[in-house]
Amino acid sequence: MTPTDPSTGGRPPSGEPFTHEVLLVGGGFTASHALAAAIRSSRTIAVELCPRANDAVDEAIRCCPTVVLLDARDGGGEVLRVLDEFHASPEVGAIPLIVLATAETAAIREDAFARSVDDFIVEPVSRVELLSRLRTHSTGYLNIVRRNRSLAAYEALQAELRHANRALDDSRLRLAARDGEGTEGHWRERVSALMQIGIELNQIHDFHTLMDRILTEARHLLRADAGTIFLREGDFLRFAFFHNDSLAQRTASGDAPHVSTFRLPITDRSIAGWVCLTGQPLHLPDCYAIPPDAPYRFDHSFDQLLGYRTRAIVAMPLKDQSGRLLGVIEVINPMAEDGGPRASFSEGDIRLLEHFANVATVALERARLNDSVIMRMIRMAEIRDPSETGRHVERVAGYSTIIFEEWSRRRGLEGPAFERQRDRLRNAARLHDIGKIGVPDAILKKPGPLTEAEFELVKQHAAIGADLFLNDPSDFDEAAREVVALHHEKWDGTGYPGLDDDGQRRGRKGEEIPLFARIVGLADVFDALSSSRCYKEPWPEDRVLELVRSESQRHFDPELVEILLERLSAIRAVRERHCDPPHT
């Protein structure tokens, strides 16, 4: 039998992944560790421990098990609550749940099956039977995952991660000796971080969210003070993402100041343009000391505008798996571990960023594919409804993301679970009115007010759109269906489409309306009032804000209104980035 290492959850020293991953929830310290040891004795099953039942869902989101074993041998009250929480969670609700009880605690069996538990085991049970049941349910879950999702991207990512690990492992001592950068342990830590980041990036579906995360992680890997990403748009590069810790410290919000988006022609007159043209990385120890005969230039005006001094830059092309260039990432001004500046990036930093770009390629390809599908759906809706433009849905998605980020910050929500929810919301928000493809053109394009009968037909777009996400729903589909169906509900219950309640039609109200739908509902109205339509001119901002304030606790969730007003500068930045072209 292959020896295992308890410090790694029983994972074999080779690092090869287990076929099955069990999350063991609850149980006393001694009992749970004994049970975990018995399960780990199988070379195909790994175990993660979650002593507190209250943390079960969050821990499952973090470690992504293939089966959850709920230990009810000390009592079953908490187990029933955990079952409810799992089935209510869109992230982990499909994972098989097994309860392990004793004869004394087996009284909860009927209630557990009423909550759709997948299996209920009563001790005494042999080790062989327990392992067999765990494998059976885990295998069933994995088959569902494989059937509903392509694993090609994930497998390619794993291959790339293993390749990056081997390459960096072989060179870490040589680079450390050459650059004086630290010990073997230092390089192991950076390689480990790279591998974990790659896995997390592959879980992000939204292209915008992924790009922002790539910039964040690239800066963290190289301990850089600032960074930018330029996205390729035809013959131009658009300044799309900007991070700067030093400038953020000067602001009351702690965020980097807003910088208007702009485009650069793809020429060799700029650093990003040269990298885009050549497809080669570029390292400048001091961008103010570029030789006069160099084929590229550094634009000092950006520093002058912001009161910042750019020193060292590493610029790296971002490509998809076919080699097509998507943009350029620039990592700026290396920092020492004590927070002070470093003279320049090292050779090891540059090699690490190259490997990181390769790892990010898999996630970029997946996100671009997802983005292209969503954009096709948006264009379908745009053909039917001129107001449902790509710019409108991007603004609604941007506003919604800002509101959710502040809502989450107030509650201390952070980490991968928060990022996954933000990703789901952004994509769902972009499709909020996709159901309009089922509403007649004569109504959608009518320049004047709608009749009551016409408005009733328009209301049907919520149900039409929601039905698009019914079959074999993924986590994204669930979020999209929720937003599409319910973003016209109102806080006071007077919205639509409402609920059938004993034959009576009523609207959801208050927190009966899911959070994502409440957020998108506010963002959609704000943008619709601020934009031109075939039946109206855009309202001035002060009039829009006056209406939003007056509709707090009636149309809108009052806390979300408060957040929108608090984050108005960020909202304006999104509106500027995705502004409608002037009418001719």
Q: What is the pLDDT of residues 273-330, one digit of tens each?
A: 999 999 999 999 999 999 988 989 998 888 888 889 999 999 999 887 777 888 899 9
User: What pLDDT, on a 0 to 100 scale, did the predictor assign at position 411?
Assistant: 84
What residues are paired with 169 via a beta bridge?
A: none
pLDDT: is 517 or 357 the higher one? Answer: 517
pLDDT for 353 equals 87
CA distance 83 to 354: 44
Q: Which fold, 6-148?
A: Rossmann fold (3.40.50)
DSSP per position, 562-583: HHHHHTHHHHHHHHHHTPPPPP
Q: Which helix H or strand E contains 69, and what residues bound it?
A: strand 67-71
Q: pLDDT of 316-350, one tens digit each?
A: 998 877 778 888 999 999 998 877 888 889 888 88
Cis peptide before 497 (omega within 30 of 0): yes
- Separation CA 478–CA 370 (nearest Å): 16
Q: Using CA atoms, how far apart are residues 373 and 468, in angstroms rounded to an integer?
A: 13
SS3 content of the chain, % helix, strand, coil (to 5): 55, 15, 35
Phi, psi angles (nearest 5°) of residue 89: -95, 120
Strand, coil or helix: 263: strand
The model's confidence at residue 75, banded by pLDDT at 50, 70 and 90, is confident
Q: Would you kindly state where each structural domain of the chain is located, as residue ranges? A: 6-148, 152-366, 385-577
pLDDT of residue 425: 92
Range in 14-18, 442-446, 470-474, 573-577 with the lowest mean pLDDT: 14-18
Rounded to 5 degrees, what are φ and ψ at 125? -140, 140
Dump the DSSP string for 190-254: HHHHHHHHHHHHTT---HHHHHHHHHHHHHHHHTEEEEEEEEEETTEEEEEEEEEHHHHTTSSSS
More confident residue, 122 or 197: 122
Torsion of CA 334, 335, 341, 347, to 10 degrees: -40
Residue 337 backbone dihedrals phi, psi, to 5 degrees: -65, -25
**Tens-place pLDDT, residues 393-452:** 889 999 999 999 999 988 888 776 787 788 889 989 988 888 888 877 777 777 777 888
Mention the CATH class of domain 152-366.
alpha beta
Peptide bond into 65 cis (omega under 30): no
Average pLDDT rounded to a whole number, residues 76-103: 84
Backbone angles phi, psi at 339, to 5 degrees: 95, -5
Average pLDDT (373-387) is 69
Rounded to an integer, what distance in angstroms lies between the CA atom of residue 459 and that of residue 441? Answer: 14
pLDDT attached to residue 84: 87
The token duo for 57 is 């869902």
Choose among 492, 482, 480, 491: nearest CA to 522.
Answer: 491
Compute the Cα dihedral for 145, 150, 155, 158 and give only its sign: negative
Q: Name the residue type at position 484.
A: V
Percent share of the chain, pLDDT over 70: 80
Question: By mean pLDDT, which of 47-56, 283-292, 493-502 is the weakest?
Answer: 493-502
Which pLDDT band holds residue 253 (cuts at 50, 70, 90)?
low
Residue type for position 254:
G
pLDDT digits (tens, 9 = 90+) for 149-194: 444 444 454 555 545 544 544 444 444 434 444 545 555 566 666 6
Sign of CA dihedral 344, 347, 352, 355: positive
Token digits of residue 403:
């509101």
Higher pLDDT, 562 or 184: 562
Sorted by sequence, the CB contacts under 8 Å of residue 144 that are 6+ apart come out as 94
- Mean pLDDT, the chain, rounded, equals 80
pLDDT of residue 360: 81
pLDDT score of 259:
75
Model pTM?
0.55
Cα 515 from Cα 260, distance rounded (Å): 30
Identify the bridge partners of residue 231 per DSSP, sorted by sequence position.
Answer: 238, 327
- For the domain bounded by 385-577, which CATH number is listed? 1.10.3210.10
- Total residues found in the chain within this entry: 584
Q: Which of 220-224, 440-444, 507-511, 537-541 has the lowest mean pLDDT?
A: 440-444
Q: How confident is the model at residue 8 (pLDDT cuts 50, 70, 90)?
A: very low
